[in-house]
Structure 1
Amino acid sequence: MNSITSKLKILQLVLGVILLCVVQNVRSDFDPKLICSLVVDGTKMNDPRACNAWIECVDGKPIGGSCDDGFSYDRESKSCLPSDTVKCISSDPCAGVETGFAADPYSCNGYYYCKNSKGTRGECKEGYNFNPGTFDCLRNFPCTLGMDPDSICNILPDGVFIKDHTNCNGWQMCWKGNVITDTCSGTFFFDPVHGKCDYPQNVECVHTEPPPLKADPVSCPQSGIFVPDKQSCNGYFYCHENPEGDMVLLPGICHESRFFSIENHGSCVRQEKIHCPYDRCVHLGFTNIELANLSDDGCRGYAICQDGKTIDTGTCPDGEYFDEVSQRCTNEVITYAACAQSKETTIAS
């Protein structure tokens, strides 16, 4: 009797009745077609159904490939590496096991007996968990399920943006195994083709418009006026009384290089003329790094803008002023309301 057969006999004694089922179709929520519609073209990812498989998105469609024998695909280096150097979390536990036992990635008390990379499932009896180190079922064996094999953080490399398919302006990104979820600022939509936030008219997104926000009397004292959105420099709402008599907020956004001003019941004016407490990079940095004046610093410093957000700040040398219109430091005195230290400047909130 060989060692594998002996091990199986021992497990049968411990488990009592073993629930067996031949794995015909591995459980997986993995949909490469959907993922390729939500990421930048050229993105390469793990195929969670096999340790040595990978998928690349080409023209929005998934193209699959596999590593040579003895190699597994590594999502971070985007290359095939020796299997013993790659941590593989596969939805098919027998994908990398020629013959032997493997833990069920979805269950603490489940396991598979693998033969020729095909799996037969077993399950520990109640109160027992499978120990992948000793291949035994142990009472109350501590178990913390690892990352779901179908998780985008097991599939995509860190730093790849993926569109939230339930929300036109939402996006997600994996970083060190954690999912970061966020939305584009203001009324921008997330563009999965270019991996950035952009104007809604530039992004193809089919969605259901949410109902208008209801306004309180303080936010909208009367119908027909514009008010700031109080979260961005260029966003605003139009106060409108609907047929039911409710005051609702209809969102809008100022065009490029203009911020919203509350003067004259609301208007969009040149951004250097507006003092704004929010991120002044909202319009900038979508095609290349751009700079913006900082609020309340006397026009000496600047924000470094990328994809509509401030990623760093700096100060002009030798006491020079920063001019966001010309995008440079200058000896000429700059007195834009955007960066003036006076409390009398126009506030966009």
Structure 2
Amino acid sequence: MQAVRGVLAVFVLALVGIVSGGKMISDFPKLSVQQMCELMPADTSFLRPHTCNYWVRCPANNTSLEEGTCAAGLNYNKDLGRCTMAANVDCPYSKDSISTTDNLCANETDGTFLADNSSNDCKGYILCKARRENKSNCPNNLIFNPTTRSCVYTNQYRCPVNGAKTKSPACLSLPNNTRLANDEHCEKYYICVDDILYERECSDQSAYDVVLGRCVSALNATCYSTAKLPPPENTFCTSMGKPKVGYFADDESCSHYYICGDTVNGKHDTNPQHLQCGQGLYFDYEKLSCRERLNVRCTLDRCADTSLTYVNVLGDCQAYARCSGGATVGSGRCPADYYFDERSQGCTPVNHNYVACAA
């Protein structure tokens, strides 16, 4: 029963992603030509969906969006980018091709789940909402079972081997190899190859530039308006460009430390554990352990992560710092021949030679 709960929980998360992820692509034939052009590189020309002779040219630089129709007896050839004799053009929206754009949700009630036949790995499914198709993919290692209409583990349903791939409504009107922006993830994009839609992802530290139609440095990419860049890669577990493994002090906190895991395929740990020692303890990077704060040398503000009013100061055992709100707000010094004792919160004639205040 626990396994079933896991599947359902993950499936619910998948449904949340339907709201925005890939919605522009699934609704592509229903978008305005302006919205279509926003997904494509500048100066792209294409056939307007559900027509055979209506063409659109997306704006580039200072030019405006342009639309037009072919003269009588001519149809628009999307791959040649011009009008040619109708008899010589295979229009994707002719009567013989209409079935490829049928709306599977036209007669379904809200909340109905259907298999996405354009998915060749059984991960894709369709959620019917307001009689419209909302496409998404099962998360992680799950696949869609059309019988139970749910995402299940691979040992619960065998994906049929099918060499044929369904043409995508988003690609029918576009020239071969046209790229489309992903409306949710800036590091991803789509490409139409022989009317079939494929998802692609840029390499590390790169993102898809919707204007240029290619992957560029993430710092310079013009993302689609609703697409977001992934958070910067955590590079703590690298040093001079090389991976590091083990326990390391946090350079911004005396009480925190990191654990860098083993490399995977030569790649450093991008998700190291970030842990904190208990109250009154600091991380000792030499002994790789959490120790009493007075026994650990720390070059940062020793007022942080403590409720003490006064603390010892590194480099001078007669001096002390006054704390407020976890930060140093003042300082003082014990009389001659007296030393500050953080434990007793006062000056004493005994020098305990704490590591925390040693020079």
TM over 0.5: no
- Under TM normalisation by the shorter chain, which class is it? 0.3 to 0.5
Question: Whose radius of gyration is greater, 1 or 2?
Answer: 2
TM-score, reference length from structure 1:
0.39
